[in-house]
Structure formats: C-alpha cells, structure tokens
C-alpha cells in the first residue's frame, strides 16, 4: 500500500515554480482586453449593418403597403361614385 502512495506522490509532486509556469501559460493563452474589445467592435459593426438592412426592408414594405392602400382607397371612391353612395 505504501508503495502505491509513494509512486502517486512522486508522479504528482508539483513545485511552486511549476504552478507559477502553469498559471503564466494560462494568462498568456487568455484573450487580452484589447482583443476582446476588438471582437466586440466587430460584432457591433455587423449588428449595425444588419439593423440598416432591416430598416431598408421595413421602409420598402411600408412604402409598398402605402401604395396599395392608396390604390384601394381610389378604387373605393370610384366604386362609390359609380354606385352613387354618399
């Protein structure tokens, strides 16, 4: 039993220096604030472009509906005049 514990301890003994290197490596692999900000700015730019495109589509749809409604109103006026409805 002592032999197994002794082998596990030898394989798993980590020095403070080892831990410091592991932590440092972790920080080096972590995205920097500037990188994160750049990615957010890119995402903001893409969302702004999507918003602009959706606004354009919305305006086109509204304009199309307005034209159709005006045409229907004209047709109703014409029908009323033909039927002599006040």
From first to last of its 86 residues, the chain has per-residue pLDDT tens of 444 454 455 556 889 998 988 888 888 877 788 888 999 999 999 999 999 999 999 999 999 999 999 999 999 999 999 888 75
* Cα–Cα distance for residue pair 81/25, rounded to 1 Å: 84
Q: What is the DSSP string of 23-47?
A: HHHHHHHSPPHHHHHHHHHHHHHHH
Q: What is the pTM of this model?
A: 0.53
């Amino acid at each position: 039993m002592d032999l197994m514990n002794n082998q596990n301890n030898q394989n798993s003994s980590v020095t403070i220096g080892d831990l410091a290197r592991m932590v440092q490596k972790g920080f080096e692999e972590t995205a920097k604030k500037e990188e994160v900000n750049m990615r957010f700015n890119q995402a903001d730019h893409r969302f702004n472009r999507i918003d602009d495109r959706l606004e354009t589509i919305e305006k086109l749809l509204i304009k199309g509906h307005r034209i159709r409604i005006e045409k229907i109103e004209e047709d109703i006026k014409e029908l009323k005049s033909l039927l002599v409805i006040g």
